[in-house]
Structures are given as C-alpha cells and as structure tokens.
Chains A and B, each alone.
Chain A
Amino acid sequence: MRNRGAVLVANVITGLALGYTVTNIGFGDYAELNRMFTFQDLRMLFAFAGAVGIIVVVFAVVGARRTPGRIHGGVVPGGIMFGTGWAISGGCPAIPIIQVASGYLPALATIAGVVVGMWLCRWANARLFRLDRGSCGL
C-alpha cells in the first residue's frame, strides 16, 4: 500500500484496536503481568500464544509476504535487556502508553526511559556496535 492517507487510516484503526484490546486483556496491570510471567495465571499467556497460533495459520493460508530478518549480534543481548526491563517496569513499548491512558501517571517515567533507551541505542549502535539490526515493523 503506497497511499499515505490509507496507511494513516489503517494505523489509526490499528492503534485504537490495539490499545483497546491490550488494556482489556490486562497487560497494563502489573499484578496480572507478574502472574503471567510466574505462571500463576495462564490466561494472558494463552491469549498471547493463542494469538500467535491464529496468526501463523492465517499468514500461511493467505501467503503473507516474509519480511527480511536475520539473527544478528544484538538479538540475544537486546532480548535480555528488554525482558529485564519488561519484568521490572511492567511495560513493553506499547504498555506504558495504555498505563498512562488508564490513569497510572508514574508510567510517564517508563515512557521517558523508553525514549532515552532508544536514543542511546541508536547513538551506541552508530559509534560502537555498527549492527544491521533490521526492524520488524516498517
């Protein structure tokens, strides 16, 4: 899709649906998140895994285009950093947004941290790592 307006509309609808869904699943609730990661409550884990299962089947049926991606040097250390940060703050990049939208104002500190972390990563990669990290979302 090349049409700028159509992509804008698609992104707005996707954002609204994503924010609505993720909030209603409970990903913004720190206690629910910790219960998922410690396997005390498998509801959210099943929601995530079930979504992946549905997506695998549908993408295979419709023949969704494969996006480029290779296992580079940043995948494992980056994943460890992200997992640690997610468990401590309760936020992946979308979650602090819905936490603030739900009234959890301290999540603004998480957003500030995400912003600083992304700036640091681009700066550090340009000067130190020089990895071709690729990206999931285009």
Chain B
Amino acid sequence: MSDYWPWWAGAAGLALVTINYTLITDRSLGVSSAWDRVLHWRAERRLERQEARFADEGALADALAAATAEEFGDRYSTEDRRDEVQAQDLGSPAVAATSAASVRPVPVVTQAALLLAIFAGGWVAAVTAGRFEVRFDMGAGFRELVTADPKIMIGLLFAGGVLVGFGTRLAGGCSSGHGLSGCGRLRPVSLVATAVFFGTAVLVSFLLWKVI
C-alpha cells in the first residue's frame, strides 16, 4: 500500500491548481513554456521592452488626440473614437494587435518565480511527509528497471532530459500545458499531443519492464 495521496486527492489537487491559475491569471498553466521563456530570458526581455515601448506610443497618440480635440473641439471622446474605429475595422492589424495583447505572455520574471516555487513546494512536501533524503541514485525502481551503473544513469538521465526538453517545445507543451490545461479545454492539439506522449511513455515503459 502506497503512502502517497489517494487518486481522488491527487485529482482534486491538480485540478484546483490548474483551475485557480486560469481563473486568476486568465492564462494556461504550462511548465515547459515557463522553462523555455526563462532559458531565453534575454530574447523575452527584449520583447517585453518592445511591448512597453508600443504601449507608451499608444499612450502618446491618445494624449495628442486629446490635445487636438481640446484645441479644435470634438464631439467624441478618445475612447469613443477608438471603439468606433475598432467596430468599423474588425480584422485590421490594429485590432489584431489589441486582441493579441489580451493574451500576451506574463512577465518572464513571474515564470522564474513559478519554477522556484515548484522547487519550494516539492521540498516542503518531501520534508513534511518524511521522504526527504539526499541520494546519489534515483531509487530502487530506476536501479532495477533501467540501470544500477552511476555513469550510465547520469548519461540516460541527461539524454532523457534532452528528449523531454526538445520534445515538449517541439510539441508546444508538456503534461501540465497540454495534459491538464489543454485537455481541460478540449483543444484538439492538446488531445493529440497528450495521446502521443502518454502512449509513447507506456510503450517505452513496457519495454523497460518486460523486454530490456
């Protein structure tokens, strides 16, 4: 009998985390994209600065329009005029930019905080459950199913990590992004990705267990 949580507690916990994140931030939870953005923080910061500059230019245009209206008179307010233009010009690049801005990525520093908090949460869970122990192996399961040789272990963990990193970014998400958030929204791409990565993991795990 496992001393881990029963399935229903795990299901409730994972669902609560995903739903709360989405309701609070209006975005999808995705750990692989958080990793990707933190790793490429220079490019992400450049994009954030560009967005901020465009936002400043928008504010400047609004200020100029308000000043013009004050000087020459205008029966519309700036906001009214913007709404009218958008209503008449649906599909224009400006409207597309406005729509895109509503789902623009969260600041990259918040993604770094997410990864660090996952570490802290995992550490608290391990310590409070009495499972924390500094080990130089991956446990009996890895030793029996994969390898007991330390050098091969490190090589396989690294190679597996490369496949995980490359694969999740190529597929556009991982078990949290595609598996929980995407499948929760019944997105076709997430359903396909989850079926493929889960099916492959089943196949490889059976090979490790029964064949190799």
Q: Cβ of B204 and Cβ of A117 under 8 Å apart?
A: no
What residues on A are CB-neighbors of B2 within 8 Å?
Answer: 26, 32, 41, 43
Tell me the A49-103 residues at the B interface (CB within 8 Å): 49-56, 58-59, 62, 64-72, 74-94, 96-103
- The CA of A125 and the CA of B167, in the complex, are separated in Å by 12
In the assembled complex, which residues on chain B have CB atoms less than 8 Å from the CB atom of A134? 172, 189
- What A residues does B8 contact at CB under 8 A? 46-47, 50
Chain A positions 1 through 43: 1 when the CB is less than 8 Å from some CB of chain B, otherwise 0: 1001011101111111111111111101111111001110111
Given known contacts A1-B24, A37-B202, A69-B182, A15 and B117 CB-to-CB distance under 8 angstroms: yes
Docked complex Cα distance between A120 and B115 (Å)? 20
Contact A137 B181 (CB under 8 A): yes
B169 touches A100 (CB 8 A): no
A113 engages B186 (CB within 8 Å): no
Q: Is the CB of A120 within 8 A of B124?
A: no
- By a CB distance below 8 angstroms, the chain B residues around A99 are 122, 138
**4 closest A-B pairs (Cβ-Cβ)?**
A137-B30, A113-B161, A117-B165, A15-B117
Residues of A within 8 A of B (CB): 1, 4, 6-8, 10-26, 28-34, 37-39, 41-56, 58-59, 62, 64-72, 74-94, 96-107, 109-122, 124-125, 129, 131, 133-138
